Amino acid sequence: MQLFDFCREHKLFVLTYHEGFIIYEGDHEYMNIESELTGLPMKRVDDIKAYIQADVPKVMGVDYVPNITSLNIELAGHFNEEVDVTTSKPYFLEFMARDVSKGNALAAFCEKLNIDLSEVIAFGDKLK
């Protein structure tokens, strides 16, 4: 739960995903953007750290661009040994397991379909 503490200490609006909802606490001017992008409904909880008792796909800190930029530079892509940091929008600081990437997902998908990676091309517009 270090991620939630880090986000709180740096005054980030915190959200994550659980059972088909975007889970969040507090309020922020940008709080609805992720819901608008994903189409997932939002569910407010009193204490996100207490509410989430299982692994989640990612934790997102949301704030104004200067704070996100500063924290992203400070963290230099790594929160700790197990968690990487990236941005998908200039106001989102995203924390996810170190092995999460488009490349790893594509490799697993190709293996499942028995397709050689040399036969595949992929591109994306984000860092992770």
Same domain, 22 and 65: yes
Is the Cβ–Cβ distance between 15 and 64 less than 8 Å?
A: no
Same domain, 29 and 90: yes
Same domain, 105 and 42: no
Residue 101 confidence (pLDDT): 78
Same domain, 19 and 32: yes
Domain of 116, in residue numbers: 99-128
Same domain, 18 and 77: yes
- pLDDT tens for 72-98 read 999 988 888 889 999 989 999 999 988
Residue 22 confidence (pLDDT): 95
- pLDDT tens for 18-59 read 999 999 998 899 989 999 999 999 999 999 999 998 888 899
